[in-house]
Copies of this chain bind each other. A is one copy, B any other.
């Protein structure tokens, strides 16, 4: 049964029964719990947008496997246009939700797995590619949400998977049976996990021969036996949990996507859902392709968030009577400049995309890494500028309860009043929106989502073609090429 609308999606989630803990208690219905509902609503927007006239062409695609119209989030990129449409889709969703809508992780996992399963089979003929396509057609036809699960706990970071004192610090195959495999381990920071339908497991890093049991990729439902999720805390989550209407900043959507630790305590996966098992030499391709696709996104979705933030401070300046100030305009200009710089790299790595042997298109690895690396700098600077322009009141504002209080409500409304008779409520709401979008969790996600800065630097150095560049310099300096150099 295909999920078509936001409410179809909600309905579908209610039919699942994942084991989810939060603040020491079980969450039974993620669409109802105030802790998870805002994140569900953000993900639901990916379904809703497909039905709009304005953005339907971005949010849908034609499956190259079935010819049917599918959600773009389940599509395998067939050309540069697909890559660029993804970028535009993500920016629009960022503008509409002001947060993470979570479906990219599975989207990027699908694209990476598709091309790598093809390549493993070219070498070993394991049948992975056919299995994966079959699984993918179901995802496309039912329009399911998939959480791409890559990051392992890693234990002691100075040691590899097989060297850990505790072998479970990297997810691994515990045993193999006629019917399938049993896996153990955990995946951290799993965005959107609690409101996904399926989990697509991938290895967390490039591995060598010593780590065969850790080179595993497979898919399973979120409520498979042995799967436990613990939903993490976010900045000001209590405001969300109490369903405050103003202080939460974005009444409808969350701060970021909502992350969970997923524990796999001896979970069985049937062979038909296993797409890699021991082919360690393909782990690097899988990881780097997933990472490149995922890093490419950040110049799109986060740019959407920065559009919101830029609009918020601009409106706030109007409310405070300072919109004409040259330094206000200059800082707003800087916010736009930095946002569009990020967007450039998302567009560029897509425009420079190229096909893998499977036909699936990849973004340019260098530019995708550059994209994410700049996000880890510029999103912070954009937030800093927003905090500058907003003023200190976003950190000292009385609560919404005080605004509603009989004794003091009128006093603080008086003393937070706006220029030109604009409503004081707007100032408070915009202040809380900026607070929510510039603080704690929101920024950490920009730093570490899709990989920490150092991960990008390693790729940038590796892709830097330094030998070629040395030749350019030698030629210009008049240094003759020598045989041995």
Contact = CB atoms under 8 A, between A and B. Distances in A.
A81 to B, nearest CB: 10
Q: Which residue, of A251, A330, A384, A395, has the highest number of chain B Cβ atoms within 10 A?
A: A395
Contacts of A321: 155-159
Interface in A317-335: 320-322, 324-327, 329-330, 332-333
A249 to B, nearest CB: 7
Shortest Cβ-Cβ A-B pairs, 10 listed: A439-B440, A24-B401, A311-B469, A392-B448, A238-B238, A395-B444, A351-B351, A326-B326, A311-B473, A156-B419
Interface centre among A84, A97, A374, A475 (most CB of B within 10 A): A475
A242 to B, nearest CB: 8
A242 B473 CA distance: 23
Interface in A410-452: 411-412, 414-420, 425-426, 429-430, 432-433, 435, 438-441, 443-445, 447-449, 452
Contact of A238 (B239, B346, B448, B476): B239
A324 B188 CA distance: 24
A52 interface: no
Contacts of A253: 476
B21 A454 contact: no
A249 B377 CA distance: 25
B341 A166 contact: no
Q: How many copies does the complex hold?
A: 4
Contacts of A25: 401
A263 interface: yes
A159 to B, nearest CB: 7
A440 B395 contact: yes
Given A22-B402, A333-B461, A440-B439, A477 B395 contact: no
Given A228-B411, A466-B314, A374 B341 contact: yes
Contact of A84 (B340, B351, B384): B351
A460 B401 contact: no
A197 interface: no
Nearest to A263: B411
A370 B388 contact: no
A452 B349 CA distance: 28
A344 B324 CA distance: 32
Given A232-B397, A235-B439, A310-B464, 4 more contacts: A158-B419, A169-B415, A228-B408, A261-B412
A416 B186 CA distance: 10
Given A332-B466, A348-B344, A349-B344, A395 B166 contact: no
A186 B411 CA distance: 9
B348 A472 contact: no
